[in-house]
Amino acid sequence: MKEQTTTSSDIYGGRDPRAIPVYTYREAARCLNIPPSTLKAWAAGQSNFAAVLTPANAEQLSFFNLVEAWVVYDLRHRFHFSLQSLRRLFDQLRRTFPGLSHPIAQADLSVLDASGERGHVRKVARAKLFARHGQSSLLNLSKGDQTALETVLHDLLERVEKSPASGIARLHPFITRERASQAPKTIVVDPTVAFGKPVIDGTGIPTTAVFQLFNAGNSIAEIAEEYDRTPNEIEDAIRYESVRSKAA
């Protein structure tokens, strides 16, 4: 995807809405269902390790940072990359694409999972991280001699939409804690809608508004009629906010 910028006549004053810091660490963590302490450590670092993200500022994160955190979580928990290896790979990624302000979020990243099964014991081998941007060829950031077939690569941004026309990305967070690749994409985080707060896809209806109505005693059918949405969409919004509220 070619990088696009917003027009100077829009409400963002010519700034890229993806890069504007609008999320507190707590808000970002709730949005992604990641522990706030973990997200803070990735963004700000701790005494025993350096940061792996590029936060917008010391207090708030941008939409780009949300996507970065999404990628780091996937690499850590689904593919078992260590933070030490991620720092090295991300440094290589920044050197490879120096023109990108947030290459972790902007490049197309994928993983060749070298895991296998041996009897009833799962053997986890070292996975390989690949990247491309625009018309570039597929690059092996892990520098291994393993050849990657694109048909077996796991797309780290399979729940992120990129528009060639506007360059604006939309993230579909998981509704529950289960991170199944085919999970519904009812909820979306779009930096140009509702100031980047989670909404029902295709609308500007914040999931928090739906959840508040439900907690106030309105039925799912009543809320669906009020917003002219399907009961399934309302249920997904409530389920998503329920998980977020428990995490808080």
Last residue of a domain, one of 115, 138, 162: 162
Strands (DSSP E) contained in the chain are 23-24, 60-61, 108-112, 116-118, 121-123, 128-132, 139-140, 154-155, 160-162, 169-171, 187-188, 199-200
For 17-37, how does the pLDDT look when each residue is reduced to its tens digit (9 = 90+)? 999 999 999 999 999 988 888
Verify that 149 and 218 share a domain, yes or no. Answer: no
β-bridge pairing 116-118 and 121-123: antiparallel
Residue 167 forms part of a structural domain: no
pLDDT value of position 247: 60
Number of alpha carbons in the 13 Å side-chain half-sphere of residue 35: 4
For 204-247, how does the pLDDT look when each residue is reduced to its tens digit (9 = 90+)? 999 999 999 999 999 999 999 999 999 999 999 999 999 887 66
Q: Using an 8 Å Cβ cutoff, are 123 and 117 in contact?
A: yes
Residue 246 forms part of a structural domain: yes
Verify that 194 and 136 share a domain, yes or no. Answer: no
Verify that 98 and 207 share a domain, yes or no. Answer: no
Verify that 124 and 152 share a domain, yes or no. Answer: yes
Verify that 61 and 176 share a domain, yes or no. Answer: no
Verify that 154 and 185 share a domain, yes or no. Answer: no
Verify that 196 and 158 share a domain, yes or no. Answer: no
Question: Residues with Cβ < 8 Å from 245, sequence gap 6 or more?
Answer: 211
Q: Using an 8 Å Cβ cutoff, are 175 and 187 in contact?
A: yes
pLDDT value of position 135: 80
Verify that 106 and 17 share a domain, yes or no. Answer: yes
Reading the block at residue 216, the tokens are: 């106030």
pLDDT value of position 238: 97
Q: Provide the CATH number for the domain around residue 177.
A: 1.10.10.10
Last residue of a domain, one of 162, 197, 212: 162
Residue 63 forms part of a structural domain: yes
Last residue of a domain, one of 129, 162, 195: 162
For 121-172, how does the pLDDT look when each residue is reduced to its tens digit (9 = 90+)? 333 447 889 898 888 888 888 875 444 555 556 778 889 888 776 667 899 9
Q: Using an 8 Å Cβ cutoff, are 127 and 110 in contact?
A: no
Domain containing residue 183: 172-248
The number of folded domains in the chain is: 2
Residue 11 forms part of a structural domain: yes
Verify that 190 and 220 share a domain, yes or no. Answer: yes
Verify that 47 and 90 share a domain, yes or no. Answer: yes
Average pLDDT score, the chain = 83
Reading the block at residue 219, the tokens are: 């039925």
What is the DSSP secondary-structure string of 116-182?
Answer: EEETTEEE----EEEEE-TTPPPEETT--S----GGGPEETTTTEEE-TTT--EEE---SSS---TT
Verify that 42 and 136 share a domain, yes or no. Answer: yes
Verify that 87 and 115 share a domain, yes or no. Answer: yes
